[in-house]
Structure 1
Amino acid sequence: MRPNGAIVIDPTGADIHEEAERIRVLGPIARIELPGGVRAWSVTGYEAARQVLADTRFSKDPRKHWTAFSDGTLDPAFPLIGWAMMENLTTSHGEDHARLRRLVTGAFTTRRVERLRPEIERTVDRLLDALESESGDAPVDLRSGFAEPLALNVICELLGVPQDVRAVLFSGGEANVDTTNTSQETASVIERVHGIAGELIESRREQPGNDLVSDLIRARDEDGSRLSEAELMGTILLLVSTGTEPVKNLLTNTISELLGSPGSLAAALEGRTPWGDTVEETLRVQAPVAHLPFRFAVEDVEVAGTVVPRGEPVLIHYAAVGRDPAIHHRDPDVFDPDRADKRHLSFGHGVYRCVGMPLARLEAEVALSSLFRRFPELRLAVPASRLERQSTFIMNGLSSLPVRLGKKVTE
């Protein structure tokens, strides 16, 4: 902690939850210092987060409402500068945000997402077949061999991204959330990703398909005022990133929690606890997104008795919000899918609620039920204490999840 009371954020994200508790001690909203010495606010309280997420006096547009960014005093080498430079749903406010949201919301309705179930099931089965054929009883990594390719393939099928460029586009999202990177390292990756995305856009302009990228291009070309070229690219890259990173973490976090809680796993396998309840409890206790940039006070705003001055940045600490003891009085840090109150804000709240929420839930339920029913003897290949975290304070996930599949159940 700095002498001025700000908690200095660990860029490696070595212990997300321990750091969250140190921030929480200072109140539901407290001062933090980001890499590069940038001062900001972190919201760890559930009710305070609901207020900030729903309050129109907090903007996501740095160009209009982050004083240090708009007046040029923010160091261009600030490691998280990429989060201010994007032009998509994460950096828009008011009518601009509503306009962009309307363009993509239709692709993620519950009915349209449910139509993807057969494709998700086929992808899950194919990935599990591949893991089984490669492993015998040798360790396999469920992050790189299952969770990541599942999430990436599902969102890219929806968007219409060709197989040969999916991994490159995904690397842009990884670079943006790795908070150990320098701004130059991130910019190098993003430059390459933008080139690939530009080629994809031109390809779909020439040969439109029945996919979301083609739909977004049609919206852009039919009425240019609805979607700028920068917003078109930014939206495509955002959907690839948000459709993979959080889903990958949701899957691996749930698997890890279940392997550490045999009673909960047995209840899920026997149907006593619905898979949906298990997923919701993971979202509460191990939020896939930990500490998300940025919101900016449009004016001085009081939150939980603290005034956030106009133009200052705010981060929502989703990993802390789900464990708020003011809401979850009984063992808030304990994974318990049978608890009655699983309130969390891991998909956001209000107009900023994640548009991909129905798809993420469906992917998780299909993937988890298939994995554990097929391999009920699944077990960690290393002690839980040796599982390594991602090198980021923005995401809350594992860098790998080594397991042994055990004996397969045939049906």
Structure 2
Amino acid sequence: MDFTHPVVIDPTGRDIHGEAARIRARGPVAPVELPHGVPAWAVSDTRLLRRLLADPRVSKDARRHWRRWADGEVSPEWPLYTWVAVRNMFTAYGSEHRRLRTLVSKAFTARRTAALRPRVEAITAALLDAVAEAGADGRAVDLREEFCYPLPIQVIGELLGLPEKLGAELRAVVDGVFHTSADAAEVADTYARFYAVLGELVAAKRQAPGDDLTTALIAAHDEESGTRLSEQELLDTLMLLISAGHETTVNLLDNAVHALLTHPGQLELVRAGRATWDDVIEETLRAEAPVASLPLRYAVEDLPLGDLGGPDGTVIRKGEAILAAYAAAGRDPAHHGPDADVFDVTRAAKDHLAFGHGVHHCLGAPLGRLEARVALPALFGRFPELELAVPPDGLRPVDSFISHGHRTLPVRLG
């Protein structure tokens, strides 16, 4: 295998599942071409991907382990630059990753997450009131805009202690980070605006500390070394928490609602008590992964994939990039059977990698699940006759091969 005939990744994400099928058709691991001609190996086999995600010979630190970064071939104009250039636990390796994850874990605790449930319920109820008003008299409502989007952004905003005046700007720059077909000017503008918002947030919390995650991160320190997050690490950690803690939940809600409205028999199983809302959430995460593909990881040394249960004779060479193809792995027929493409809430094994695996497993996964557990039954309980306002093929995907959701989700409340 080589990079002479790669699967060219569509930066606009127009056909996430079709592209995932093309990647799987090339085998458990396939050469792909990212925007600007950057090569990578896309791993779509569930077992192999799980092993690679947990393998210490696989890094997320581009500065130390990506050959193209070392050779100066990655510029700030690249649409994925923010994903590989930041300095936080998402891009750290080894002891640096353990240090950063420990510091964040001290602030992002299970207690802090569980305590958010009453606020999630209150925000959900208020948003549903607004949806009811917007959809009165049979008018179509964009549920992504009016419900799926504002719920997690308001939750993460309150968790971080974000001043209300920064909310609109924050939303715009988060959208920009996931816009993988952006041109050079858009990339540079997003990068600068994101740091400006984060700088304002940190300055506000230093001036007026509160019982929020930003204040906790400013104060967090490693008890063994006595170190704190550097200023760059602090800003980039906030960037990670906002981006990952928001976009994934938006898409989880969006995709779950869409799946149930286009598979009414599955919704009836839930209403009849033959499946639970947890079943809906986990099957959505499997079949409609909120993050379709996640850049990037790098081989610290040559990786003979045959030793990891992959194809014999295939080696990911030291310094080469790896793309975690979560959407493709979620529908891997070798793992989930010949009906892997079918949305089935009664499926016995719904295991997935939508929140990652190993040392980089998402710290915010419990919060995302909590929001979905509150929001979905409340939505369908309030509007039992909810239906799509357009044909399913009339929906357009978001402009991204990373983020997997719809630009709009028009519904009628019934």
- Same fold, TM-score > 0.5, yes or no: yes
Moved more, 393-402 or 83-92: 83-92
**2:272 maps to which of 266, 270, 273:** 270
The 5-angstrom pairing of residues 373-388 of structure 1 reads 373-388=381-396
Q: Does 1:171 align with 2:179?
A: no
How does 1:10-409 map onto structure 2 within 5 Å? Answer: 10-136=10-136, 137-219=138-220, 225-303=227-305, 304-305=310-311, 306-406=314-414
Q: Distance in 2 between matches of 1:260 and 1:286?
A: 13
Unaligned ranges ≥5, structure 1: 407-411
The normalised TM-score by structure 2 is 0.94
Residue-by-residue CA offset, 1:208-231 (whole Å, 9 max, x unaligned): 101110011112699883311100
For 1:327 and 1:60, the matched residues in 2 are separated by 26
**1-side partners of 2:74 and 2:250: how far apart?**
32
Residue deviations 1:52-88 (CA, integer Å, cap 9, x gap) = 1000111101111111112213355332222222111
C-alpha distance in structure 1 between counterparts of 2:8 and 2:189, whole Å: 27
Q: Residues 380 and 283 of structure 1: is their aligned pair in 2 closer, same or farther, counting only changes over 3 Å? A: same
CA distance in 2, matches of 1:398, 1:267: 25
Q: Which amino acid aligns with 2:244?
A: T
| Cα deviation, residue 269, structure 1 | 2.3
- Counterpart of 1:22 in 2: which secondary structure? helix
- Inter-partner Cα distance in structure 1 for 2:84 and 2:111: 34
Q: Deviations over 1:13-34 (max 9, x none)?
A: 1101111111111111110011
Task: Give the letter for the 2:52 counterpart.
Answer: V
Checking the alignment, whether the CA contact within 8 Å between 1:155 and 1:240 is kept in structure 2 is yes
Question: Is the contact between residue 76 and residue 187 of structure 2 (CA under 8 Å) also seen in structure 1?
Answer: no
CA contact (8 A) 2:106 2:220 kept: no
> Which string of whole-angstrom CA distances, capped at 9 and with x for unpartnered residues, describes residues 255-309 of structure 1?
0000011111112223321100110000000000001101011111122132111
Deviates more, 1:341-350 or 1:72-81: 72-81
CA RMSD of aligned residues (A): 1.7
Q: Using the alignment, how far apart are the partners of 1:378 and 1:243 within structure 2? A: 27
TM-score, scaled relative to structure 1: 0.95
**Matched positions, count:** 405
C-alpha distance in 1, partners of 2:328/2:20? 6
Look up the SS of the partner of 1:144 in the other structure. helix
Give the whole-Å Cα distance in 2 for the aligned partners of 1:204 and 1:110.
22
Contact 1:170-1:241 within 8 A present in 2 as well: no
Report if aligned partners of 2:78, 2:184 keep a CA contact under 8 Å in 1. yes
Cα offset, 1:106, TM superposition: 4.1
Distance in 2 between the 1:73 and 1:158 partners?
Answer: 38
Distance in 2 between the 1:67 and 1:52 partners? 19
**Matched residue SS, 1:289:** coil
Q: Which amino acid aligns with 1:262?
A: P
Please state whether the residue corresponding to 1:376 is helix, strand or coil: coil
Percent identity, aligned pairs only? Answer: 49
Tell me the amino acid that sits aligned with residue 324 of structure 1.
Answer: D
State the one-letter code of the partner of 1:280.
E
Q: Distance in 1 between matches of 2:244 and 2:47?
A: 25
1: distance between equivalents of 2:71 and 2:286? 38
Distance in 2, matches of 1:70 and 1:226, equals 28
Distance in 1 between the 2:15 and 2:160 partners?
A: 34
Separation in 2, partners of 1:105, 1:376: 39
Retained in 1: the 8 A contact 2:78–2:187? no
Tell me how far apart the structure 1 counterparts of residues 285 and 123 of structure 2 sit (CA, whole Å): 23
State the shift of 1:405 in Å. 1.1
Whole-Å Cα distance in 1 between the matches of residues 24 and 264 of structure 2? Answer: 31
The SS at the match of 1:42 is strand
- Contact 1:220/1:227 (CA < 8 Å) preserved in 2? yes
Structure 2 unmatched runs, 5+: none
More displaced, 158-167 or 40-49?
Answer: 158-167
Contact 2:3 2:39 in 1 (8 A): no
Name the SS of the counterpart of 1:327 in structure 2. helix
1:8 aligns with 2:16: no
Q: Secondary structure at the match of 2:336?
A: coil
Change in Cα spacing, 1:228 to 1:109, as seen in structure 2 (3 Å) is closer
CA drift at 1:190: 2.1
Give secondary structure in 1 for the equivalent of 2:399: coil
Of residues 265-274 and 321-330 in structure 1, the stretch that sits farther from structure 2 once superposed is: 265-274
